[in-house]
Structure formats: structure tokens, C-alpha cells
Amino acid sequence: MSEGEPRYLKTGWNTVATRSSGRRALDAAKLGMLADRCSADIIHVVGTNALVFSPVCKLLGAHGVIVRQIFTPYDAKDRMVRPMRWVINSLFVDAYAFTTPWIGPWEKDLGPGMRRFLVRPPVDSELYRPSKREPDDTPAGSSHEYRLLYMGPLWPSRFPAQNVLGALRLLLAKGLDVGLNVLTSTRSSVLLGEHVLALSKHLGVDRNIVLERKDLSEIERVRAYNASDAVIFPYVGPEPEQLADPPFAILESMACGRIVISTRVLSVPEVVNDGSSGFLIGSASSSDICDGVNRALTHPDRDNMGFRARERVLKHFSYPAVRRGLLEAYESLLAS
């Protein structure tokens, strides 16, 4: 335990997992049945249906304090199960852990009596770090002065293709030689990929875009970040589809010392300090994306901005920082 960490909490970790059946409620019930066998003081529920897990776990005799982890913003499904959640929370759940101080509608939905903690998502800052650009990292067919990266799904709420490619067209009209590398998973829709390429040809920017459908390893993600001059996150708000908060890709980019350009969705303004550790744009319109990228690529303090971005991740999202915060939250919970 390093200096500054809670000194009175001696931790022992026990992970309970089960093989997926494809049915979340059934898997949660199976986990609840397994959890009663351990003598944990705190049961931190991550990645399973807490509304099923918690009553099964407690009714079978588990005595630990249950903490439910929330990664994504409040959505329509959360609203649908609100009455059931109130009952389950009042009987079986002891606290909620959020990855961001911006919790939106959860603030009123949990009620004044529910304990809540900030447990930020950890980033492996030893893996995600700046490195020299290698010749092999250049996307095939891309040889431009500036390299822009988008990594993620091609859903309209994450990548509004018309607006992004329109921004690329505006940048070229300003005389900036920009190449856009779009990396998306093989699970991403083939039709969406074809739409992006067809649209790029229609707008006359097809020579400035490379789209790859590929499932990247973490090492390949790091190389892709470091091969870019800036990384764009043109999310359509206020709450983009299935987006963790804060978005992991923003944290990874910043850990690699890249300049981030993002819309002001969710808790992104709490992570990215506009003009200091990245750039925030008012919307995902073509003009706003163009202005944000232009500022990023021509900023005289680009190198120091990347340094400040990494420092912010090290301070708040590195493994030691998150571990320290988690132990403090556990200690506070047990003390109460």
C-alpha cells in the first residue's frame, strides 16, 4: 500500500463469475447463488443485472454490503424499471458507485438516503502512453500532412457521417491537408461502412479517408492513437447511444498524449479542459467539427497540450489513483 492510501483497510479480493447463458437475468440469478458462498464484507456488482442479483444474493444469506456500479448514463430502460428499482434498492442495495460526478437523472431517482461514491474508470497508463510514430502505423493509402483519427461504432449518434465528412471537406477548402482514419469493429454494420465510403466519394473527400473494419488489440489501439495528430469524438448529445461515461476512448487518447476534439456530452467537459488538455465543440455540426479540428491542428502549444492531457489521466484515472479512491470509498462504507 503506497503513501496516502487508507491505512486501516486490509483488502482481500474474491471474484465471482459464471459462464454466460445469453440471458442476463438468469446469469445474474446464478451469480447471486454463488455469491452467498463467500464471506465478503463488500459485494461490488459489475456487469450484471443488479435488480436480480441483489435479492437472490441477500435472500440466500449473503451478509456483505452490496454496491452497484454504474458505467452508462440513465436511459429509457432505467426509467421503465424505476418502481422495481426503488423496491430493490430499499431492501437489498446499500450504495451506488458512479464513474463520473455527473450522474444526471440518477440524482433524483436514487433518493436522498442512498449512499453514492465516485469510482473513476481505470486506464492502464503504462500501456496507453505516448510513443514515436512508426512507418508501419500509417494507414494504407494515407500520406497527408495531418492525421485525424476516429475510433468506434459508425452509429449516427457516435459518428454523424454527413457532418464529419462535411467538416473534412471544409478543412480541405481551408488548405489543410488532412487525412481521416476511421477504425471500427468487424461487428459494425457493413452497410454503415459502405454508406460512409459512398458519401465520401459524393463529397469529393474519398482520397482523404481510410476506413478499416477490424477488431483491434490494445497494442494496436495504442499504435493507432500515437499515429494520429488528433482524435475526434463527434458525439450527438445529450446522451449518445450506449456510451460509457466518461468515454474510455477519450481517456485512452489523452493517456497517449493525443489532442482530443469532442462535443460537450455527458461528463466530457469535466474530463477535457477546453483549450488546455483538448478542445470542446458546441455541436456535431460540420462547421463546429471543422473549427475544433482546425484549432487543434494549428495550435502553437500542441505538444504541451498533449502533455497536460496525459497528466490529467495520470492524476485521476491511472490504476494507483483509482485504487486509492476505491479503497477510500470502501473504508467510508464499512465505517458507516
> What pLDDT digit, counting tens, does each position of 121-150 carry?
999 999 999 998 766 666 655 689 999 999
Q: Which pLDDT score is estimated for 141?
A: 52
Q: What is the dihedral of CA 304, 299, 249, 80, to 10 degrees?
A: 120
Given pLDDT bands bounded at 50, 70 and 90, which one contains residue 37? confident
Spatial CA neighbour of 124 closest among 325, 329, 318, 301: 318
Q: Which pLDDT score is estimated for 3?
A: 45
- What is the rounded average pLDDT for all residues in the chain? 90
112 vs 140, which has greater pLDDT? 112
**Percent of the chain residues past pLDDT 90, beyond the cut:** 71
Looking at 13-27, 104-118, 143-157, 158-172, which range is the least confident one?
A: 13-27
Looking at 28-37, 231-240, 319-328, which range is the least confident one?
A: 28-37
Task: Over range 4-32, report the average pLDDT.
Answer: 75
Please give the Cα distance from 76 to 236 (Å, whole number): 17
Q: Which pLDDT score is estimated for 9?
A: 55
Q: Which pLDDT score is estimated for 295?
A: 97
Starting from the edge strand earliest in sequence, which strands make up the sheet with 95-98, in order? 42-45, 65-70, 95-98, 115-118
DSSP 122: P
Inform me whether the pLDDT recorded for 98 exceeds 50.
yes
CA 329 to centroid of chain Cα atoms: 21
Q: What is the dihedral of CA 206, 209, 214, 220, to 10 degrees?
A: 160
Please give the Cα distance from 322 to 234 (Å, whole number): 27
Inform me whether the pLDDT recorded for 153 exceeds 70.
yes
Answer for the pair 333, 119: CB distance below 8 angstroms, yes or no. no
Spatial CA neighbour of 292 closest among 163, 195, 151, 162: 163
Rg (CA), the chain: 22
Please give the Cα distance from 171 to 165 (Å, whole number): 10
Given pLDDT bands bounded at 50, 70 and 90, which one contains residue 242? confident
Inform me whether the pLDDT recorded for 192 exceeds 50.
yes
Inform me whether the pLDDT recorded for 71 exceeds 70.
yes
Task: Over range 58-78, report the average pLDDT.
Answer: 89
Q: Which pLDDT score is estimated for 137?
A: 60
Q: Can you give the length of the chain in residues?
A: 336
Burial label, 244 (beta-carbon count in 10 A; 0-12, 13-18, 19+): middle
Q: Which pLDDT score is estimated for 135?
A: 62
Task: Over range 248-254, report the average pLDDT.
Answer: 98
